[in-house]
Structure 1
Amino acid sequence: MKLGISSASVTERYGYDKGFELIKKSGFDAVDVGLEQYGVESDPFKLYHRSEDEFCTFFDTIRKLAEKWELEISQTHGRCNTYSMDKEHNAYVRWVSERDLKATSLLGAPACVIHAIVSGRFPEHYQNLEFMISKNAEMYGDLAPFAEKNNVKIAIETSGRAMVNGREIKGCFSDAPVFQKMFEAVDTRCKTVCVDTGHTNEAVPFGAPKVQELIRLLGKEITILHLHDNNGTYDQHLPPIRPSRGTVEWCEVFETLDEIGYSGVYNFELNLIQFGGVMDEAVRFLGKYLRYFIENKGKLM
């Protein structure tokens, strides 16, 4: 079993070298490298606007640092901000997502997580499932040739609740059968599924299937995980510590992952910022605790 962690908050605080050192020495085997901070106006380095040589050198350096600390870069996290009704915005999303896929290839990672278009992006059409499926197929289809050229997969992430016209609803792709139809509509060999346990869990009160039910339905298409907990009402990215506010049924989740033959990295996507100035101590604790938690299939007693 390989244990992974989404590393963005660690490397932003300590830098890639010291951040990777901390992660490795805390007992993790792999990292999910975040790319969302690049290609946006707030990026002080304007990395995605630099020359191709500078761009390639930057990510090659990160890859070498991961190799130095014997960490596998199991995946990257690309865009959360996806297609909308604005064509100019969509052109930007396509450009920046292609940069994400290129960075993923340079890092030697097999897949880049890119969020699906959620219901709130098209408030006039969110109840039209065929429309929503077709828009996602269009967006991922636009990126597919670039993914294939760079030999990386687009990891389509499962969705949770959505905000539409000022009210919260069950997002159309939090319904596992609808997500499956959308995934099948994406015409490329370079696709896979990222199960985000927190997204799925926050939609359960709206009638969405539980995490383990979604895993069972999507089965072997799942090769990427974003594991985290919440109270069922908000995407909190909590560690699965009991007793806590979390409501994900972890024993059943791990049993179902075994049932489908999951053999990938058990990657945790946690809100590490909440630990403030003792983030390093939290990472050290979590490395030990999460391995124990997985090996005991979510049973602590």
Structure 2
Amino acid sequence: MRLSTSTNLCAVNRTGPLTDPIEGMKRLAEAGYRVLDFNFRFIKFEEFFLARDDWEQELDKIGNEAAKLGIEFSQSHIPYYHPINEIDSYLTDPELHAWFESMCERSLHASAALGVKWAVAHPFTAVDENCEREASKRKNLAYFAPYVELAKKLGIGIAIENMSDFYGSIIQRRYAATYEDLVDLVDAFQDESVGICWDFGHANIMKYDQSKALTYIGRRLKATHVNDNFGVSDTHNLPFMGTVRWEDVMRTLVQIGYEGDFTYEIHGMADRLPPPLKPEALQYSYEVGQYLLSLAK
């Protein structure tokens, strides 16, 4: 395993616009990171490059700078929303819905251009059918099928992420919050280019024995979202700043033969920090990650 982190670790600032992706990469490289997960969730921000007409030129600049810094992108996170539920305006506004879908497709092309191996995607819940398990499974299979085929043509895989229940006041039962449902969904694709991304924070909210869950998932595990919390809300803390049992986790990742990267999603620790405090925080997160990897040896 290699230590990796999402680019969202230093994307959001206490005040002002998003950090430019190239500047963010430089900061992460200074802290010691050489493997990254490119997060495309910021498409709603005007300054984020993916939604602009010149996105391909900007992507070339990002790729060139990454090469100079010795940075590799092994994962990405495509944009996410609820494509079949009237939760937001993406369903009530057909043009906005089509735009969002085009951004999801564009993020896969961008991922491939950056050399990403696994693009992480959120499954969704069939709220329109009472959050019923089989309905959710059927609709996820139909929705993701063209994305899986596109990803395969581009030479990347789709890693579907485990969710957690209690999505505010909207969804009380979320599909693929249980690892059994997630495995069932991934297996139903019958395609080795579809795997699982395990989010440790989501699993902690669900009060799972994560060693048991990871053992159940086994070789389907292709990507990780490493973060901690206290089992109440999805705060994306640095490991050891919550209640996840990391010693057990690291041992189990070795036991199941996990071959992917150990990828942070810990923006909760940095989003609200004043700029002068961020460099030391990033460095500390890197040191914690190295300690965690030492537990897997």
TM-score, normalised to structure 2's length? 0.86
Equivalence map 1:188-267=2 (5 Å): 188-204=191-207, 209-241=208-240, 244=241, 246-267=242-263
Q: What is the correspondence of 1:44-193 to structure 2 with a 5 Å cutoff?
A: 44=47, 47-50=50-53, 54-85=54-85, 86=91, 88=94, 91-117=98-124, 119=125, 122=127, 124-126=129-131, 128-163=132-167, 166=169, 169-186=172-189, 188-193=191-196
Distance of aligned partners of 1:7 and 1:186 in 2 relative to their CA distance in 1, 3 Å threshold: same
Tell me if the contact between 1:35 and 1:100 (Cα under 8 Å) persists in the aligned partners. Answer: yes
Shift in alpha-carbon separation, 1:93–1:189, aligned structure 2, 3 A: farther
Secondary structure of residue in 2 paired with 1:162:
coil
RMSD between aligned alpha carbons?
A: 2.4
SS of 2:167's partner is: strand
How far apart are 1:185 and its partner, in Å? 2.1
Shift of 1:172: 3.1
Unpaired stretches in structure 1, ≥5 consecutive residues: none
Q: Tell me by how many angstroms 1:188 deviates.
A: 4.2
Q: Is the 8 A contact 1:11 1:18 kept in 2?
A: no
- For structure 2, the residue ranges without an aligned partner over 5 or more in a row are 13-17, 86-90
* Contact 2:49/2:55 (<8 A) preserved: no
What CA distance in whole angstroms lies between the structure 2 residues aligned with 1:238 and 1:16?
22
Aligned-pair CA distance for 1:47: 3.7
Instruction: Determine the C-alpha separation between the residues in 1 that align with 2:119 and 2:196.
Output: 10
Give the aligned length: 282
* Amino acid in the other structure paired with 1:97: C
8 Å Cα contact 2:229-2:244 kept in structure 1: yes
- The structure whose RCO (Cα within 8 Å, separation 6+) is larger is 2
Aligned to 2:15: none
Contact 2:199 2:226 in 1 (8 A): yes
